[in-house]
Amino acid sequence: MVINAIQKELCFSCGACFSKCPSGAISMVEDEQGFLSPKVDYEKCTKCGLCVKSCPVYKTKRDDLTPIKDAYSVKSQHSSRCASGGAFTQLAGYYLNNGGYIAGAVWNKEFIPEIIVTNNCDDLLKIQSSKYVHASTGSSYKKTLELLELNKKVLYSATPCQIAGLYAFLGKDYDNLCTVEILCHAGGSPKAWKKYIEFANKKYNKKLADCKMQAAKDKVTLYFDDGEQIVESLYSENEYVELYMSGKTKKSSCTNCPFMGRIRNADFIIGDVWAKWAKQKRKDGISLLILNSDKSKKIFKEIKWDFVEPFDLDSEENAPLNKINNVIPIQNKDRVSVFEKLKENCDFEEIIANKKVALMNFNYPRDNYGALLLAYAIEQTVKKMGYEPYTINYYKNPMTMDFDPQGATWKFREKYLNLYGFYIDKNSLYKLNDVFKTFIFGSDVIWKQTREYVYFADWCTGLNRLIAYAASFSNKKMPRKDYYKKFCMRRFDKVSVREKSAIEICKQYAGIDAEQVIDPTLLLNKEDYQRIIDNEYSQIPQGDYVVYYTFWGINPYDIKLKLPIYNLFKDEFNKTRSFGQWLNLLKNSKCVITASFHGVCFALLYNKPFVYVRKPDEDNERIVSLFEKFGIKENCIVDSVEEITEDLAFRHIDWESINNKILEFRNYSLNWLKSALEMPLTYKKSNANATHHKFNFMGVKINIKKRIKNR
């Protein structure tokens, strides 16, 4: 058997077979995902079988291993340059000072990590810090063997699969070899990394020369050829790390890593200490150091650590945060799509972007035909533009809502909306940042004074595209001062509003430029809604009739019109109408009496004369703004249904003119949305919560200052 018999999905790309092959028949070649895979030249192959014997797939663990238990949290005095607490650097220093060699990952000439073996102190600086890219072992196995045979001491550090590969290659342990295994959760695709380098060069308009990734310090430092350094937050700003950390570029063999758990191959195991106490003790990170052999225990005693404390691997606080116990890392759903894009040689921007669009509006399972048809309309519009829209299934306090799984609203949501998940609190919404890069907030009164921050996108973090479509403040009043809200609004990449007055509010309140766009229900034409009518049984009354649709106490008996009047909400048996019935009844009526903004929108869409009944104390800004846009006279706004006369209800309306204006505004709004969806992604800092407190604090501070001044 030769190594090609191994399924590619299982291969760890450790290169043990390549290093072992006596006839040079195996080369490591880059596969379409960018990982190195063995390729056999059958002309040269002598079928000796050494490649298979040295493959860690067949022997993942060394003999006689016992579960790890001796662990310490440590810190080196050189840790500021290191990935976490500098455990490796301290061990490496010990070896170099004692005439030994060290092996670790450096960026090679192609800017890909490669494990080198060295006794040069300067190389240690290059080994320091993490490189979240699968490293090549290059010639390090062979060189280590040579040095070991010459009785030189070697400290070899690598990922667990590469350590398994080393032992499989060597075929035995050596007294003068000490191995260090890094707690690793995945190897990132070198091809994705190369694409990132091109992206970073373009983004900063200079050439990337070096990169330091320091997870415990939440830092990625980019070094450019002109000497400039740019520091980004590792967890929220660096595009490559974001892609890597979400598991989208991991190697397929990492999804079933056999090296996780308590039985480990290496003498030392190092990782980060993620528990809260560590952060409090040393802000820039503490290393976890596990001693897994007598060799490591002896060396550990001889080293002088800057900080050292026993570490309880099983304590509730420590255990879940490190990847020691996890056996199978989670497979990311989007991994396949990322690798498909890599195969097609797409640019990094395209790799990180996806066609998924998250829509956030009021799609609650509550009998609100307007809000749900709006959710339907924006979904359909985004879909027609070639995207994959999902309506986020979020509603706070579901217990306070009337759920009726047999009801019209529930059925409509299930049948016509592409609902995503089920979220009842903001914390769970953060997970959506891993799935979506584009978020559309709106329409409806999402920016009303009392609305929660969830609708201001404060949970949307990382590299994304934030769009507010036809957001409404409900009325003309400037919202109360709220620095956090202002901060959130300014994070949007593009903002559009429903009412004209909202343009001024956005400018004055948050200093942002907004444009007025059409309500989503009018982005579709009447044919687009016909599918809902056709799909449902809906009987309409014979002869002419009037309909009414309102959320507040209008008594239909007070409407003094000759034609029969039907309630759009409920039928004669007091049963909520289906959405098909609602639309069909409105479509075939002679007049619509409504106190709902969307009642008016659908009357306009179906060219039905309508009368708007204003709520007492209502600032009817949304209706006035709509009328102004379509040139509709305000005389069809009444304060009570008693004011509705036959002349008013059945007045002549110039529908041709209104339809032309709707069409024009619809096309303008579609173009606005299209360009918003094509905008580049931008960073949204993840410290929104911290900023919240800061801004609130600032608010308090300002108030105090004002009070002092007033005195």
Ligand X SMILES: Cc1cc2nc3c(=O)[nH]c(=O)nc-3n(C[C@H](O)[C@H](O)[C@H](O)COP(=O)(O)OP(=O)(O)OC[C@H]3O[C@@H](n4cnc5c(N)ncnc54)[C@H](O)[C@@H]3O)c2cc1C
Residues at the interface with ligand X (CB under 6 A): 82-89, 104-105, 113, 127-133, 135, 157-159, 182-185, 215, 270-272, 287, 322-323
Q: Nearest distance from residue 95's CB to ligand X, in Å?
A: 12
Query: Which residue lies nearer to ligand X by CB, 287 or 474?
Result: 287
315 contact partners, CB below 8 Å, separation of at least 6: none
- Nearest distance from C-beta of residue 308 to ligand X, angstroms: 14
Cβ contacts of 166 within 8 Å, gap of 6 or more:
14, 16, 137, 141, 144, 156, 158, 179
User: Least separation, in Å, of the C-beta of 304 and ligand X?
Assistant: 16
Tell the smallest beta-carbon distance from residue 272 to ligand X (Å).
Answer: 4
Determine contact, residues 472/498, Cβ cutoff 8 Å. yes
Listed in sequence order, the residues at least 6 apart from 572 whose beta carbon sits closer than 8 Å to its beta carbon are none
Q: Which is nearer to ligand X, 289 or 591 (CB)?
A: 289
Please choose, from the candidates 358, 375, 376, 366, the residue with its C-alpha nearest in 3D space to the C-alpha of residue 459.
358
**Best CA proximity match to 465, nearest among 380, 542, 358, 554:** 358
User: Do the beta carbons of residue 498 and residue 471 sit within 8 Å?
Assistant: yes
Closest distance between ligand X and the C-beta of residue 82, in Å?
A: 3
- Min dist CB 503 to ligand X, Å, is 48
Strand partners, 28: 38
Q: How far is CA 46 from the centre of its chain?
A: 50
CB of 83 to ligand X, least distance (A): 3
Decide whether 257 or 489 has the Cβ nearer to ligand X. Answer: 257
CA triplet 463, 517, 417: central angle to 5 degrees? 65
Identify the CA nearest to 36 among candidates 253, 196, 232: 253
Cβ nearer to ligand X, comparing 21 with 82 = 82
Place of tokens 């709707």: 662
Q: Mind giving me the DSSP string for 145-212?
A: HHHHHTT--EEEEE-HHHHHHHHHHHSS--TTEEEEEEP-S-PBPHHHHHHHHHHHHHHHTS-EEEEE
Based on CB atoms, which residue is closest to ligand X, 85 or 258? 85
Whether a cis peptide bond, with omega within 30° of 0, leads into 443 is: yes
Nearer to ligand X, 87 or 372 (CB): 87
Q: Would you state the structure tokens that stand for residue 241, as one six-digit string?
A: 């790390």
User: Judged by CB, which is closer to ligand X: 138, or 479?
Assistant: 138
User: Is the Cβ of residue 272 or residue 482 nearer to ligand X in the bound state?
Assistant: 272
Distance CA 121, CA 117 (A): 11
Nearer to ligand X, 108 or 588 (CB): 108
For residue 315, the minimal CB distance to ligand X (Å) is 15
Give me the least distance between CB of 4 and ligand X, in Å please: 25
Closer residue to ligand X (CB): 46 or 80: 80
- Within 8 A by CB and 6+ apart from 278, the residues are 73, 285, 286
Provide, rounded to whole angstroms, the least separation between the CB of residue 298 and ligand X. 19
300: left (phi over 0), alpha (psi -120 to 50) or beta: alpha
User: What are φ and ψ of residue 692, in 5° steps?
Assistant: -50, -50
Phi and psi, residue 256, nearest 5°: -130, 45
Residue with Cβ nearer ligand X (286 or 392): 286
Closest CA to 105 of 182, 38, 16, 26: 182
* Distance in Å, CB of 127 to ligand X, minimum: 5
* Residue 316: CB minimum distance to ligand X, A: 17
Considering beta carbons, is residue 322 or 391 the nearer one to ligand X?
Answer: 322
The three-class DSSP label of residue 438 is strand
Nearest distance from C-beta of residue 211 to ligand X, angstroms: 11
Nearer to ligand X, 339 or 627 (CB): 339
Question: Are the C-beta atoms of 313 and 319 separated by less than 8 Å?
Answer: yes
The 229-232 sheet, strands edge to edge: 208-214, 219-224, 229-232
- Measured from the CB atom, is 102 or 353 closer to ligand X? 102
Q: What is the DSSP string of 300-363?
A: HHH---SEEEE--TTSTTTGGGSTTS--SPPPPTTHHHHHHHHHTT--HHHHH--SEEEEES--
- Helix runs in 536-683, H state only: 579-587, 597-605, 621-630, 646-649, 655-677
- For the CB of residue 155, give the shortest distance to ligand X in the complex, in Å: 9
Contact (CB, 8 A) for 389 and 363? no
Q: Tokens for 599?
A: 């009642």
Residue 208 or 626: which CB sits closer to ligand X? 208
In the bound state with ligand X, the residue whose beta carbon lies nearer, of 105 and 243, is 105
Burial class of residue 122 (count of CB atoms within 10 Å of its CB; 0-12, 13-18, 19+): exposed
User: Nearest distance from residue 228's CB to ligand X, in Å?
Assistant: 23
Question: Which among 514, 502, 568 has a CA at the least distance from the CA of 676?
Answer: 514
Minimum CB–partner distance for residue 161 and ligand X (Å): 10
